[in-house]
């Protein structure tokens, strides 16, 4: 599916009033035109614009990992929950209809029930990369920057940098379980347009207490928002910040079905926010509201959110595999950061890029390093057997 990337008059006027130059329109169009179809985790699908937006360039450069153990890109080790897969498969039979039944509304209703967020505050998307990039365009500008942790999921800062928006990066807090340092974020740019908090954080898997996020929401400058990316929340099982959206605060809370729900290739995500914030995010492309979503993804996603005991069981399966891996690392004297989610940072004490190559030679794709930590690799927690293979390969590499 390719979205029309031409910006309407209202959208152009909005961008100009917030300090964007006409020369940046092409970049905004490219970003939003492809954002619907492409994500860092999804399939490549070039948009109409001649300009390659950041997500597109990365996705097109993705290496072929077939035949390898894949613990490098934070996908789930297995597919959708069985009941969700059945709901999706059933919908394939009805794929001749644009709207076989009101699947979009059913997904929203189910999310509202589970999350205790009003239906008016929930918008589904084809993944969460689109609303993330869109939030940068909407709430940041050449005069209002973005603030993120470092390391964190880079989509926010890569998008902002590409649009020539100021990016401020703040170190995590080693003194507080590597949580996001919300006070330092505010100090880094007291007039930012968007503060991005990823909790649990990618790549560390560490959680920022909801009380810290609420503090940032109360103390941030007027006219800005706090974007809370909860892509990995179900893997941690910790409280959500979604109640801040219910209270009508200046927040956008993002979720994805690409992680614990095992639907990365099916493309489904959610944002939860006050309706006026969503309206602003959608002014660049009103058609996003309905036409863009696959009925298979909607059916599988709508079923997934209700499967509370499956979620708990999958989380426990991940924790068991993660803790067994930690025990092995400890036995070898290799350190890692603490983690509450399905990924962790291991410190090799030597260039992480070399270790990635050494694992690749053993047919194991591990994650990459972040510039700020060149000796640490991100490892995604795979199945118990994949993590055993990781440990065996490590033993061979470290002899």
Ligand X SMILES: Cc1ncc(COP(=O)(O)O)c(C=O)c1O
The residue ranges that bind ligand X (CB under 6 A) are: 39-42, 74, 127-129, 132, 153, 198, 202, 229, 231, 256, 258, 264, 269
Rounded Cα distance between 232 and 26, Å, is: 32
Cβ closer to ligand X: 224 or 256? 256
CB of 304 to ligand X, least distance (A): 13
CB of 118 to ligand X, least distance (A): 22
> DSSP letters of 157-203?
HHHHHHTT--EEEEE-BGGGTTB--HHHHHHH-TT-SEEEEESSPTT
CB atoms inside a 10 Å sphere around CB 368: 14
CB of 46 to ligand X, least distance (A): 17
Token pair 């860092």 in the structure block, residue: 40
DSSP assignment letter at 136: H
Cβ closer to ligand X: 153 or 178? 153
CB of 226 to ligand X, least distance (A): 15
CB of 152 to ligand X, least distance (A): 8
Cβ closer to ligand X: 42 or 145? 42
Q: Across 258-392, where does the E strand assignment appear?
A: 269-273, 335-336, 343-347, 364-366, 376-380
CB atoms inside a 10 Å sphere around CB 308: 9
Cβ closer to ligand X: 152 or 168? 152
Cβ closer to ligand X: 231 or 307? 231
Q: Are strands 69-71 and 364-366 parallel, antiparallel or unpaired?
A: parallel
Cβ closer to ligand X: 40 or 180? 40
Cβ neighbours of residue 340 under 8 Å, at least 6 residues apart?
Answer: 200, 205, 206, 207, 235, 236, 238
CB of 97 to ligand X, least distance (A): 25
CB of 111 to ligand X, least distance (A): 15
Cβ closer to ligand X: 47 or 269? 269
The first and second tokens of residue 396, run together, are 């061979």
Cβ closer to ligand X: 145 or 269? 269
Rounded Cα distance between 243 and 323, Å, is: 31
CB atoms inside a 10 Å sphere around CB 365: 17
CB of 59 to ligand X, least distance (A): 10
Cβ closer to ligand X: 145 or 200? 200
CB atoms inside a 10 Å sphere around CB 393: 18
CB atoms inside a 10 Å sphere around CB 305: 21
* CA proximity to 259, closest of 123, 392, 102, 79: 79
CB of 63 to ligand X, least distance (A): 16
């Amino acid at each position: 599916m390719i979205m029309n990337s031409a910006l309407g008059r209202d959208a152009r006027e909005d961008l100009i009033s917030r300090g964007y130059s006409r020369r940046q329109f092409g970049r905004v169009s490219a970003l939003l035109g492809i954002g619907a179809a492409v994500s860092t985790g999804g399939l490549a699908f070039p948009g109409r614009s001649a300009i390659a937006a950041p997500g597109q360039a990365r996705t097109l450069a993705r290496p072929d990992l077939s035949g390898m153990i894949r613990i490098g890109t934070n996908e789930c080790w297995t597919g959708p929950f069985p009941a969700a897969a059945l709901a999706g498969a059933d919908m394939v039979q009805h794929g001749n209809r644009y709207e076989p039944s009101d699947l979009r509304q059913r997904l929203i209703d189910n999310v509202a029930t589970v999350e205790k967020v009003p239906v008016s505050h929930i918008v589904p998307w084809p993944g969460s990369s689109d609303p993330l990039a869109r939030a940068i365009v909407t709430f940041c500008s050449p005069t209002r920057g973005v603030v993120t942790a470092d390391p964190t999921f880079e989509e926010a800062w890569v998008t902002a940098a590409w649009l020539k928006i100021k990016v401020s990066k703040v170190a995590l807090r080693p003194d507080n379980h590597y949580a996001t340092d919300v006070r330092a974020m505010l100090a880094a740019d007291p007039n930012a347009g968007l503060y991005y908090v990823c909790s649990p954080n990618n790549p560390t898997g560490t959680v920022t207490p909801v009380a810290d996020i609420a503090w940032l929401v109360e103390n941030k400058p007027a006219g800005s928002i706090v974007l809370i990316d909860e892509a990995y929340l179900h893997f941690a099982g910790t409280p959500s910040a979604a109640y801040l959206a219910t209270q009508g605060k200046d927040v956008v809370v993002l979720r994805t079905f690409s992680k614990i729900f095992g639907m990365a290739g099916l493309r489904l995500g959610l944002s939860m926010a006050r309706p006026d914030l969503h309206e602003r995010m959608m002014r660049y492309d009103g058609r996003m509201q309905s036409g863009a979503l696959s009925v298979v993804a909607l059916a599988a996603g709508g079923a997934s959110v209700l499967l509370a005991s499956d979620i708990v069981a999958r989380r426990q399966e991940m924790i068991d595999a993660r803790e067994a891996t930690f025990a092995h690392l400890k036995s070898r004297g290799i350190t890692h950061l603490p983690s509450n989610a399905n990924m962790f940072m291991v410190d090799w004490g030597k260039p992480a890029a070399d270790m990635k190559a050494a694992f690749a030679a053993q047919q194991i794709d591990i994650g990459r390093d972040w510039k700020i930590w060149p000796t640490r690799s991100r490892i995604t927690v795979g199945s118990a057997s994949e993590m055993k293979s990781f440990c065996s390969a490590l033993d061979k590499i470290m002899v």
